[in-house]
Structure 1
Amino acid sequence: MLSLPRFRVAALISLILINSSLKAESAIGVNWGTLSFHRLKPTTVVDLLKENKVQKVKLFDADPGALKALMGSGIQVMVGISNDMLATLSSSTMASDLWVRQNVSTYMVKGGVDIRYVAVGNEPFLSSYAGQYESYVMPALLNLQQSLAKANLAGYVKLVVPCNADAYESTLPSQGAFRPELTQIITQIVSFLNSNGSPFVVNIYPFLSLYANADFPQEYAFFEGTTHAITDGPNVYYNAFDGNFDTLVAALSKLGYGQMPIVIGEIGWPTDGAIGANLTAARVFNQGLINHVLSNKGTPLRPGVPPVDIYLFSLLDEGAKSVLPGNFERHWGIFSFDGQAKYALNLGSGNRFLKNARNVQYLPSRWCVANPSTDLSEVTNHMKLACSVADCTTLNYGGSCNAIGAKGNISYAFNSYYQLQMQNSQSCDFDGLGMVTFLDPSVGDCRFVVGLTDVSSSSYRPNCRWLILWFLILWGFWVFAT
């Protein structure tokens, strides 16, 4: 009988245990974005994750507040590196060493954060970027891998590159291929991922297909069957997710990596800000997706092999996100900004439905509305001011507050600004056109928010005192130099 040294036997057992645990832990995760005017305390968010038995979370950066709150939680974490950092990390091993030390090694201690992935960039090959990040991705991966190896973390923390589904294309799933201009760089990246045991991470959004194309069959975006099924040889596709997923499988197969594990980095449905973005559609889509994935049915090209993990987009609404893609961008959360569940959703983790955040600290129950005793004919500029600072996206066509009338629109804009200014009495003046009320002006699904009290350390607004101090320092250097 072949005898192995004791340490090798232990290593083999550990490897088997790790592999089996990875399979067992595949689950539904969430994206935790932080571009919000009213941010919950990171500890409150982590408590929310734990209360809802969410085992995996994806961050878009390495926010220290979020990572500190995640310490000891047992939640598996994917930390992100923004696209604007890729150039620096691709050109300097010192920069990559520093980034790993500050954002990974520091937290991976006993009782620390269970960081499993580092996302190098976020959709860096998006066609709208016109290739501006392409040359940085591979060098950044190599430098970061070297830095992880120096920190003895390369075997545990995996590097990934979240790609948008527009990186590949085809008329039928079986004909899937990466965009011609990306073939070379994607081949290099996939080879790197494969050699280091990393999955391919892709973001899939059936909602965007429906939003962008009036001819897209609506029921094909969901999981409840369709009269517009797509026949592809022996395979039939009844929903957009399976079709998109198998298009990627086919594209990877063309590169020789047809068996590569796939993680869905982002997928979801918004609840406001556009036609088709509503609570009912979001619940039906997300619940259908979760049930579909957890059934282990897989897809026609990968029967019985669902994605390794799926990260719902997103955990919370983000009222400070750019609305360039559409007003719906601020309304992807399965929870509102304050951690309150928007609709009944079973994540398949043991809870029947979502549980709300606890101990959320709100400002007093008061709102700013249009003063009914004043002439509102000169209110336009005041509304523009309020909405240029606060979030008024629900007032637009397709939004939940679109039908509350002209005076309701004014009140909503005034209140959004007032709450953002921490209910400062002067912020509800608007040259006498506004007034404070203690009666909730919310109407139906149109919610007039009350802000959160604890925004001093986590607000999206910049700290003006530090900006002024920084300006004075630079000005002093300039004076000295001249």
Structure 2
Amino acid sequence: MAIRKLSPETVVQMLKDNGILKVKLFDADQNTMTALAGSGIEVMVAIPNDQLAVMGDYNRAKDWVKRNVTPVGNEPFLTSYNGSFLNTTFPALRNIQNALNDAGVGDSIKATVPLNADVYSSPTDQAYPSSGRFRSDINDLMTQIVQFLSQNKAPFTVNIYPFLSLYGNDDFPFDYAFFDGAPQPVVDKGTGIQYTNVFDANFDALVSALKAAGYGDLPIIVGEVGWPTDGDRNANTGYAIRFYNGLLPRLVGNRGTHSTLAWLH
């Protein structure tokens, strides 16, 4: 948390000066929204998880769209939430997108749900990306959501943090969290693809989960990716630099596995 916050106008100018044309906001702060208006920057505006329940009321959803135009929630299906948002997320998503459609902007503005990578996984006896499936406890719900996203030509949004693979897991191969080459690549027994980093493997597991649900052509946006610099033994500036030095050239050079390149937006 910054002690002296920069003004929204200053931040917007810094974004433009550095060629950053897409941002994600976690709420619809009016001052920030005003500063971004007309800037040419593409904005993803989130509805906080604690507001999902009220978005089950279509009139409330329409009112929100009038004031802000959106992801719905942020990682609402984390296992640590113990199902708190399972019954409110999809109704909120549906109402927000329908409100956008009714407002005549549904073709250009899409509602989506940024999800953590823990909504999918591979079974322990087939622990490779091509076996990726949505979590069994939310499989039906996820299928409903991806069907709705597909019907509205909206993207699937996922947050992937390779750092979390190391967090609390001493057995995870350390170099596999970065992009400069793991000593022993992980081979997918289903496809033969060799993975040298967990980001590509994680992403391709999502692609497999979407295919298994019948929506393999759904566009995917990585909403969040990064590396922390404090709070854990592996959270420091040196490792963050190593991570970004691998990630950013891959993004600029459009490098990755076939699945990653085909779906990543």
Q: Report percent identity of matched pairs.
A: 49
Q: 1:446-465 maps to which residues of 2 (within 5 A)?
A: none
1:305 is aligned to 2:255: no
Q: Deviations over 1:397-416 (max 9, x none)?
A: xxxxxxxxxxxxxxxxxxxx
Residue identity in the other structure for 1:238: T
1:247-270: per-residue Cα shift (whole Å, max 9, x none)? 111111110111211111111011
Q: Is the 8 A contact 2:200 2:260 kept in 1?
A: no
Match of 1:180 in 2: 136
For residues 101-124 of structure 1, the C-alpha deviation after alignment (integer angstroms, 9 at most, x for no partner) is 1112xxxxxxxxxxxxx1101001
Task: From the CA coordinates, give the structure whose radius of gyration is larger.
Answer: 1
Offset, 1:243: 0.6
Task: Output the CA distance in 2 between the equivalents of 1:147 and 1:51.
Answer: 34
Deviation at 1:36, TM superposition (A): 4.4
Within the candidate set 43, 58, 61, 1:96 is matched to 61
AA matched with 1:259: D
Q: Of 172, 183, 188, which aligns to 1:227?
A: 183
RMSD over aligned Cα, in angstroms? 1.4
Aligned counterparts, 1:131-142, within 5 A: 131-142=83-94
Q: Does the 8 A contact of 2:47 with 2:73 survive in 1? A: yes
For each residue in 1:80-117, what CA deviation from the matched residue of structure 2 results, as whole angstroms up to 9, or x when unmatched? 00011010001x1111111111112xxxxxxxxxxxxx
Q: Who is 1:264 aligned against?
A: 222
Partner of 2:81: 129
Query: 1:83 is matched with which residue?
Result: 49
Does 2:235 align with 1:283?
A: no
Please give the alpha-carbon distance, in whole angstroms, between the structure 2 residues aligned to 1:239 and 1:250: 17
The one of 261, 280, 294 aligned to 2:252:
294
Partners in 1 of 2:249 and 2:240 — Cα distance?
14
2:43 aligned counterpart, secondary structure? strand
User: What's the offset of the Cα at 1:195?
Assistant: 0.9
- 1:97 is aligned with what amino acid? K
Measure the CA separation in 2 of the matches of 1:208 and 1:304. 23
- For the residues of structure 2 that align with 1:237 and 1:99, how far apart are their CA atoms? 43
Partner amino acid for 1:45? V
Aligned partner of 1:249 in structure 2 is: 207
State the SS of the aligned residue for 2:65. Answer: helix
SS at 1:66 equivalent: helix
What's 1:435 paired with? none
Letter in 1 for 2:254: N
Shift of 1:297: 2.9
Q: Give the TM-score of the pair, scaled to structure 2.
A: 0.94
**Contact 1:202–1:262 (CA under 8 A) maintained in structure 2:** yes
Any gaps of 5 or more consecutive residues in structure 1?
1-34, 105-117, 309-482
Alignment-mate amino acid for residue 40 of structure 2? G
Greater fraction of residues in helix: 2
> What is the rounded CA distance, in whole Å, between the counterparts of 2:77 and 2:260 in structure 1?
29
**Cα separation, 2, equivalents of 1:120 and 1:299:** 29
CA distance in 1, matches of 2:165, 2:236: 16
Cα 1:99–1:247 shift into 2, 3 Å: same
Q: For residue 216 of structure 2, give the secondary structure of its aligned residue in structure 1.
A: coil
Q: Which residue of 1 aligns with 2:26?
A: 60
How far is the alpha carbon of 1:38 from its aligned partner?
3.1
Separation in structure 1 between the aligned mates of residue 234 and residue 196 of structure 2, nearest angstrom: 20
Of 98, 102, 115 in structure 2, the residue corresponding to residue 150 of structure 1 is 102
Please name the residue that 1:214 is paired with: 170
Higher relative contact order (CA 8 A, sep 6+): 1
Does the 8 Å CA contact 1:298/1:305 hold for their aligned counterparts? Answer: no
Shift of 1:306: 5.6
CA distance in 2, matches of 1:149, 1:244: 33
8 Å contact kept, 2:219–2:263: no
2:113 to 151, 161, 165: 161
For the Cα contact (< 8 Å) 1:187–1:255, is it kept in 2?
yes
Query: Which 5+ residue runs of structure 2 have no aligned equivalent?
Result: none
1:281-300 Cα deviation digits (max 9, x unpaired): 11121121121122223324
Count of residues paired in the alignment:
259
Please state whether the residue corresponding to 1:120 is helix, strand or coil. coil
Q: Within 1, Cα distance between the matches of 2:12 and 2:22? A: 11
CA distance change for structure 1 residues 196 and 306 in 2, over 3 Å: closer, same or farther?
Answer: closer
